[in-house]
A and B are shown apart, each in its own frame.
Chain A
Amino acid sequence: MVKSYKPKRLEEALQIIKNEDCILFAGGTDLMVNRKIYFDDKNSDKKVLFLSSIEELKDISSDSNYIEIGSMTTLCSVEKNNLIPEALREAAKSMASPSIRNIATIGGNICNASPAGDTLPYLYAAQATLVLESIEGSREVYIGDFIKGPRKKDIKKHEILTKIKIPLKEYDIWEFRKVGTRKSTALSKLSFTGLAKKKDGILEDIRLSFGAVGPTVVRCRDYENKIIEIGKDIKIPEIIDMYSSIITPIDDQRSTAYYRKEVALSLLSNFLLKL
């Protein structure tokens, strides 16, 4: 039998993991698939800490600077909550199936650190930061620094991801596009997120990110700044050329490198045409 904990308070949970090495179990929709063994319920000796009873991790709130999303917010709640930016809601809606979205969490999607995690490209683009808490205190880290590679992340054994902070900013032009293997319950072949703000015909800000076309989400603030700087005069082919050098997908069982790159760049081009 597996030893498990199901604390009701965050502090309790932090206390437990201070002393014991536990698997943090959010929705479990990735964890269960990764850990299954051939036809039975026996799993592993590692202890499991279920986060699902900790209500304080399910809050969604906003002030004048940030929207804060509790890490245990389900994808279904993300999809349906009006406080949450539409592009992220769209991303949540594109994921898995209704039953999975009812239990899968945004924190779980982040900590799974898959190159095909569909909430990630938006969070990169929106410059989201993550709040990691331990019994000693808390720290904040930009999501792009938190995720180090496929399945690799900057989290310590005694830390829990508690909140996702998204800087409050209106983007009047946005797009989220997932290209999956089918229309539901699909993993991404690639995804594209574009956010832009224009004022009086002038581009004030632009954020561009790509999922599943590299080991981690592809986003380049330097290129974005360049687009903003040059503004009107920039030619789309030049932007495509820039991005072409940093989009380096692979061939795998879901798609081809060629398709991923070409379609990612076409989606980018299509978004730029709308500006």
Chain B
Amino acid sequence: MGRDIALSIRRDDAIAKISGEAKYTCDVKFENMLYGKTLRSKIARGKIKSIKYPSLPEGYYIVDKDDVPKPNKLKILKSDMSVFAQDVVNYVGEPIALVVGEDKEIIDNILSKIEVEYENIQPILTLEEGLNTKEPIYGDNNLFADYVVEKGDINEVKNRASYVYEGEYETGYQEQFYLETQGIIADFKDGKITIYGSMQCPYYIKNALLDFFKADSDKIRVVQLTTGGGFGGKEDYPSLIAAQAAAASIKCKRPVKIVYDRDEDIEFTTKRHPSKIKLKSYLDDNFKVIGMEADIILDGGAYASLSEVVLQRAMFAISGVYNIENLYVKGRAVATNKAISGAFRGFGAPQAFFAIEIHMEHIAKKFNLNPLDFKINNLIKRGDKSSTGGTFRDEIKLKEMIKRAEIMSSYNEKKSRFKEERKEGKLKGIGMSLFFHGGGFTGSGERDHIKAKVKLLKKIDETVEILISNVEMGQGAMTTSRKIVAYTLNIPIEKVIFENPDTDRVPDSGPTVASRTTVVVGELLREAAEELKNRWNENETLIVEADYKYPEGYEWDGDKFKGDAYTSYSFGVNVVEVEVDSITYESTIKNVYAVYDIGQAIDERIVKGQIDGGIVQGLGYAGIEVMENKEGRFLQRTSSDYIIPTSKDVPYIYSELLCEPFKYGPYGAKALGELTFVGSPPAYALSVEDALGLEISNIPVRPENILEVLRHGK
């Protein structure tokens, strides 16, 4: 292993994936395996009055609520969701039963003959309906979470502010659209359930199933198979499919596989929370933002899932990269009769950063300030307090990064040149966003809930196996983990082994989420490798462990939301340049520039992959990914109608790193995966705004909406 860890090596999984040799869940077949397909609710909200099943051919089964232990509730954070609908349904597509058997055509035939009789209840389809309902879906007030974060004294600020500005911002749905759809195989044998499948969090599935089946720990085993992308979509949802497949395998006494069709996956699995955010800023004479009130409403869909923590991240990010000393932030996650909103790269932060970045730009325009100067004038620096009163302990390089981005993109020159070109009818625009991402779990999640543990197993042949529950899902975790261990031990990378996790073999190092795999788990691997290095000459098979320790000096009070919501922050500056067609209002993205502080690159090519992928996914979110719900059903529910960017939709992305290392990250590394998503949506919206001279406050920015605004002024 060379001495510069950032230098790229060939990824472990590259050849198998490119050649097609890699076996995904869909490719794996067990002897005697049956297939399961889901019977889903056709209505958005109602009671199930009766279900009439046809008589089944031999070898075919129905698995429903009567086949699972009571109370038939799956524990994600809360236990509000049934594995199979109990007597009510709360969204179009809610699973009611599985039809299981050998032949998919016969399964389809059985499905088409099942008659479900519903008693309709008026569904809640909008945030307004959800906030004002007399018939809540969840609890008494129909809110999955209802929080307030306060900092300083907002009332005092109201009295002395010289200027006030208020705005409202909205973001839409987004579907993860991982290349491999959801898939799970369950095999119940000799009293033990084994789950194989596409997943981000083997131990989440194990724990959910232990709770659901009230099983002993050694009776549930979860094995990850090659996973084709997750983006958060395989954080919580696979637990539901696994519980269903397990119930089916127990009933049928054979392995049962469930793999979703693309359309099924688009329409019914979890998505990014739509948001509506109101911001009201108070400014002093010098245009320093001295206070801000925020009201954040997220559309949580039918069940609680992870909404409360998504909401927390959105609330803690709402003041952006700005030092606003007085804050009052209200946050609510509302239940609606639509598909569940779950985890998605960024986890609440993209909604918040979209709102604050647009808000700051609009304040500057309102008071005739140069937006970038205004933003820089309000920037956080080392020693300032975060939204929750924690301290930014490390050097913040944002000013330098902005400078770099300006030079790379010729930002100022283009800003004035495009103004001239627009006079000649060329609708060109440029926009810049400034943002951060807090690494790892919000608050004390790492310390109090996850308690990650890693193991390294040194074998007689001097190979070292990494035993962790984090997964390779395309992001490169297999390669970066091996690099950290090989680099620390100073042994060839080939000597370090990483197999897909199997909960019977690996400790719980936590889920593969929250950009934590490198920064948190990677650091534990480095510590374990340091210990192993000291004991390298013990001539036998050796296991060393490392357990998560909360870094000294940081504090968090989860009841009051006070203290360090994150122990490390990664930063970014994005610049997007567009040209809008003056007839059709279609936007063409001309150039993208990006500068990031991620502490330290563990592998430059993998970092570049995350940067390009994150930016493109963010541009899709802001530009072309539209998902509308009419009367409880999504209109865009196939891959021809739910559109994600192709290589023709994005230009080459120029990116650079400008890093401030993190003391508690492996070799200084900080969070990367989600950060790369957060900045491109506001930068894109601002560039379109610049091109058209309009105020844009909602994404996705559709040509349809632009036309409406230009013709009707709304």
Q: Which residues of A contact B259 (CB under 8 A)?
A: 39
> Does A232 sit at the interface, judged by CB under 8 A?
no
Q: Which residues of B contact A235 (CB under 8 A)?
A: none
Chain A contacts with B in 39-74, Cβ cutoff 8 A:
39-40, 42
> Does B704 sit at the interface, judged by CB under 8 A?
yes
* Cα-based distance from A256 to B702 in the complex (angstroms): 11
* Cα-based distance from A266 to B711 in the complex (angstroms): 13
Q: Which residues of B contact A255 (CB under 8 A)?
A: 704
> Does A154 sit at the interface, judged by CB under 8 A?
no
Q: Which residues of B contact A262 (CB under 8 A)?
A: 707, 711
Number of A-B contacts (CB under 8 A): 71
The answer to whether B646 and A183 touch across the interface, beta carbons within 8 angstroms, is yes
- Interface segment, one of A7-15, A20-28, A117-125, A184-192: A184-192
Most chain B CB within a 10 A radius of its CB, from A185, A252, A267: A185
> Does A270 sit at the interface, judged by CB under 8 A?
yes
> Does B122 sit at the interface, judged by CB under 8 A?
no
Q: What are the interface flags for A175-206 relative to B under an 8 Å C-beta threshold, 1 for contact and 0 otherwise?
A: 00101011111110000000000000000000
The answer to whether B636 and A253 touch across the interface, beta carbons within 8 angstroms, is yes
Q: Which residue of A lies closest to B588 (CB)?
A: A183
Q: What are the interface flags for A146-188 relative to B under an 8 Å C-beta threshold, 1 for contact and 0 otherwise?
A: 0000000000000000000000000000000101011111110
B256 to chain A, nearest CB (A): 14
The answer to whether A258 and B108 touch across the interface, beta carbons within 8 angstroms, is no
The answer to whether A179 and B104 touch across the interface, beta carbons within 8 angstroms, is no
Most chain B CB within a 10 A radius of its CB, from A33, A182, A186: A182
The answer to whether A267 and B583 touch across the interface, beta carbons within 8 angstroms, is yes
The answer to whether A183 and B648 touch across the interface, beta carbons within 8 angstroms, is yes
* Cα-based distance from A253 to B630 in the complex (angstroms): 10
Q: What are the interface flags for A222-261 relative to B under an 8 Å C-beta threshold, 1 for contact and 0 otherwise?
A: 0000000000000000000000000000001111101100
> Does A37 sit at the interface, judged by CB under 8 A?
yes
Chain B contacts with A in 633-654, Cβ cutoff 8 A:
635-637, 640-641, 643, 645-649
Q: Which residue of B lies closest to A179 (CB)?
A: B584
Partner of B649, one of A183, A263, A266: A183
The answer to whether B641 and A263 touch across the interface, beta carbons within 8 angstroms, is no
Q: Which residues of B contact A33 (CB under 8 A)?
A: 640
The answer to whether B26 and A259 touch across the interface, beta carbons within 8 angstroms, is no
Q: Which residues of B contact A102 (CB under 8 A)?
A: none
Chain B contacts with A in 24-66, Cβ cutoff 8 A:
26, 35, 37
The answer to whether B704 and A182 touch across the interface, beta carbons within 8 angstroms, is no
B291 to chain A, nearest CB (A): 40
Q: How many chain B residues touch the partner (CB < 8 A)?
A: 32
The answer to whether A38 and B646 touch across the interface, beta carbons within 8 angstroms, is no
The answer to whether A97 and B707 touch across the interface, beta carbons within 8 angstroms, is no
Known A39-B104, A258-B704, A263-B584; contact A184-B646, beta-carbon cutoff 8 A: yes
Question: Binding site of A, secondary structure by majority: helix, strand, loop or mixed?
Answer: loop
The answer to whether A253 and B707 touch across the interface, beta carbons within 8 angstroms, is no
Known A185-B646, A263-B583; contact A42-B104, beta-carbon cutoff 8 A: yes
B25 to chain A, nearest CB (A): 11
Q: Which residue of B lies closest to A190 (CB)?
A: B584
A266 to chain B, nearest CB (A): 5
The answer to whether A37 and B646 touch across the interface, beta carbons within 8 angstroms, is no
Known A39-B104, A183-B649, A262-B711; contact A253-B583, beta-carbon cutoff 8 A: no
The answer to whether B624 and A38 touch across the interface, beta carbons within 8 angstroms, is no
Chain B contacts with A in 690-710, Cβ cutoff 8 A:
703-704, 707-708
A92 to chain B, nearest CB (A): 16
Partner of A182, one of B261, B637, B646: B646
The answer to whether B104 and A182 touch across the interface, beta carbons within 8 angstroms, is no
Known A39-B104, A42-B104; contact A259-B649, beta-carbon cutoff 8 A: no
Q: Which residue of A lies closest to B706 (CB)?
A: A259
* Cα-based distance from A136 to B261 in the complex (angstroms): 44
* Cα-based distance from A263 to B704 in the complex (angstroms): 10
The answer to whether B703 and A259 touch across the interface, beta carbons within 8 angstroms, is yes
The answer to whether A38 and B648 touch across the interface, beta carbons within 8 angstroms, is no
Q: Which residues of A contact B645 (CB under 8 A)?
A: 182
The answer to whether A37 and B711 touch across the interface, beta carbons within 8 angstroms, is no
Q: Which residue of B lies closest to A185 (CB)?
A: B646
The answer to whether B635 and A252 touch across the interface, beta carbons within 8 angstroms, is yes
Known A256-B704, A263-B584, A263-B707; contact A37-B104, beta-carbon cutoff 8 A: yes
Q: Which residues of B contact A182 (CB under 8 A)?
A: 624, 643, 645-646, 648-649
Partner of A253, one of B104, B261, B635, B708: B635
Partner of A187, one of B583, B640, B647: B640
Q: Which residues of A contact B26 (CB under 8 A)?
A: 39
Q: Which residues of B contact A254 (CB under 8 A)?
A: 641
> Does B105 sit at the interface, judged by CB under 8 A?
yes
Q: Which residues of A contact B635 (CB under 8 A)?
A: 252-253
Q: Which residues of B contact A259 (CB under 8 A)?
A: 703-704, 707-708
Q: Which residues of B contact A253 (CB under 8 A)?
A: 628, 635-637, 641
> Does B499 sit at the interface, judged by CB under 8 A?
no
Q: What are the interface flags for B534-575 relative to A under an 8 Å C-beta threshold, 1 for contact and 0 otherwise?
A: 000000000000000000000000000000000000000000
Q: Which residues of A contact B636 (CB under 8 A)?
A: 253
The answer to whether A258 and B648 touch across the interface, beta carbons within 8 angstroms, is no
* Cα-based distance from A44 to B46 in the complex (angstroms): 35
Most chain A CB within a 10 A radius of its CB, from B583, B584, B640, B648: B584
14 A-B Cβ contacts within 8 A?
A179-B703, A181-B624, A181-B643, A182-B646, A183-B588, A183-B646, A253-B637, A256-B704, A258-B704, A258-B707, A259-B703, A262-B707, A263-B707, A266-B584
